[in-house]
Structure 1
């Protein structure tokens, strides 16, 4: 780590900025959480209380006006703003983290990737679910070959959310980046491609069941991977009884895992990423492995959202775009997810 912290601004202080970004930046000495943008008075007060060292401004444009005093901007704003704000930030000389969904259209993402390369800037996307406790557990099983050749992969994120809590979400259409497919769907599709490689959507059900929903809140997709794996993807905000988070069938065994990753609830409850108990899942939530008719539980790996900003700091401190070190998330991966979403909408 260099002696000079990475001067960072967070645009937006809703769930994204207050839970998924600011706590991790503030707890990592490689960063200085210098600016937070939110126009909401209650959120401004909360930001001032939690991060008194940060300058509080009203809009992302106010952050861009301070670009000469910053190194990095994190965009936790509504999806439709991601493309114009990321473009403006790159052109202002800043490195950029964009929360998911990367952008609304895949061609916008490709344009931003080309622009970042041209300007010599770092651009990455916050696909934090790669560091979910259960996702890390699945990756460990796959790396070890415990299940043999995987034939079927089922992944789901289901919730009971009859009301839409945010005004922008209630009014946002799919063209605005609204709906569960752009929200939770970008997480599960990213994991699906990460585990099993390139795929195409062969079947899609995309529904809006809540009366106030302007986009979609109940989605089921079937993907055919080039590797031969078939993936079933379920994202649903109308579920009283949730299905498994993961169910994987292979030639040597099967694995099933229920439950919710513990990291978001821990921070929402006032905990910090530096707490000893952070990311540790209760033993009763462990997944089940079956091999040759014998069942056993599999200890869950510790959740590790701080890894995103650790990897990014290493990249930036090593020379940024000129460094050979990896990005925490290649934005091309997120473009691949957007192309799957576009395929799904064309089929539905």
Structure 2
């Protein structure tokens, strides 16, 4: 079978770190074209992917007859228009998270993908973070009993306004809720499905900031309280995950190592220890059973970002079901919309599709 030929639109940090290396690594995918205009990025792309043509216009990828899959690593505001153009050109499409700026835009793209019978997916790589895979393993173990509270954080410390980036502009689709929040909402959706209601508190904490740079989002489920938090002024690391159950608790610190490893580009995705966290980041399970109290270190599952693009290949070739569906991406955007409404109206909002 011939390779699926891929065109990557955008070779900034997202394209360089999260997409191009994984596409190049996965058997069956072939990176043949990259759209980029910044000279420093073009130089890196040419050195790493000499087989790929570098173009300056996205339409040269979208309308190229040889390209099967278009990957969008562009500002959020351009996701809808470029995805619409690519689907209309009979391409499969991967969109960087968040899927779109509004759920209405997401609905239109889903309709178009269904009509054209093309694979459409949102890049939710954090499903394959080491810590999230470990959380799933802990829950499956049953050691915590019935889960009653789940809290996840994605924090940073940046007490200044980063210059020259669209992410600091403050337009619709920017801010932590759309950025890091979309990852955490997606993970909650994987674990618990859609919430019954949402309550959200948002803040602008940094001096001269134009974006929401702190939020706390509570997702209401029957019997489980799910809290998602993110902030830009968190100097001392807080737990990444806190799980409370009727028989015990699980707490874990530290960020998945894959992003930093890909950014440094000094380690091969072929290595056996890819995605392996240092033991210092392993979480702690404290639980009780018939034999008494137990406090254990939970060895982290290796992270596996390549699994996302392996599934994209398998979905396009009809070998397996798509794991990150556009409907799930749309649901995440809808939760974000309801979260903003909750903050504006200072009340809990019942989930409405």
Tell me the TM-score normalized by structure 2: 0.92
Partner SS state of residue 216, structure 1: coil
What is the aligned partner in structure 2 of residue 336 from structure 1? Answer: 331
Aligned equivalents of 1:103 and 1:242: distance in 2? Answer: 30
Instruction: Tell me what 1:181 maps to.
Output: 177
Change in CA separation of 1:130 and 1:166 when aligned onto 2, cut-off 3 Å:
farther
Q: Distance in 2 between matches of 1:228 and 1:337?
A: 21
In structure 1, C-alpha distance between the alignment counterparts of 2:340 and 2:76, rounded to whole Å: 17
Residue 275 of structure 1 is matched in structure 2 by: 271
The question of 1:305 aligning with 2:309 is answered no
| Stretches of structure 2 lacking an aligned partner (at least 5 in a row) | 344-353
Local SS of the residue matching 2:260: helix
Residue by residue over 1:257-290, the C-alpha shift from the partner in whole angstroms, topping out at 9 and shown as x without a partner, is 0001010111111123222332000111100001
1:20 paired residue number: 18
Whether 2:92 is the aligned partner of 1:95: answer yes
CA displacement, residues 64-96 of structure 1 (integer Å, 9 cap, x when unaligned)? 232x11000110000010001000000001000
Cα distance in 2 between the residues matched to 1:200 and 1:87: 31
Q: Secondary structure at the match of 2:251?
A: strand
Q: CA deviation at 1:165?
A: 5.0
How many matched pairs? 337
Matching residue of 2:280: 284
1:145 aligns to what? 142
Structural RMSD (CA):
1.3
Whole-angstrom CA distance in 1 between matches of 2:275 and 2:249: 25
Q: Is the 8 A contact 1:12 1:77 kept in 2?
A: yes
Runs of 4+ in 1 over 3 A off after TM superposition: none
In the other structure, the counterpart of 1:222 is 218
**How far is the alpha carbon of 1:203 from its aligned partner?**
2.3
- TM-score, normalising length: structure 1: 0.94
Q: Which residue number in structure 1 is paired with residue 349 of structure 2?
A: none
Q: How far, CA to CA, are the matches of 2:204 and 2:57 in structure 1? A: 31
Question: What is the match of residue 250 of structure 2?
Answer: 255
Residue of structure 2 in register with 1:127 after alignment: 124
Measure the CA separation in 2 of the matches of 1:339 and 1:200.
13
Instruction: Work out whether residues 198 and 335 of structure 2, in 8 Å CA contact, stay in contact via their aligned partners in 1.
Output: no
Q: Residue 264 of structure 1 aligns with which residue?
A: 259
Question: Aligned partners of 1:212 and 1:6: how far apart in 2?
Answer: 46
Residue 38 of structure 2 corresponds to which residue in structure 1?
40
Q: 1:78 to 1:222 in 2, by over 3 A?
A: same
Decide which of 47, 53, 56 is 1:55's aligned counterpart. 53
Q: Which runs of 5+ in 1 are unaligned?
A: none
**Are the equivalent residues in 1 in contact too, given 2:152–2:242 (CA < 8 A)?**
yes
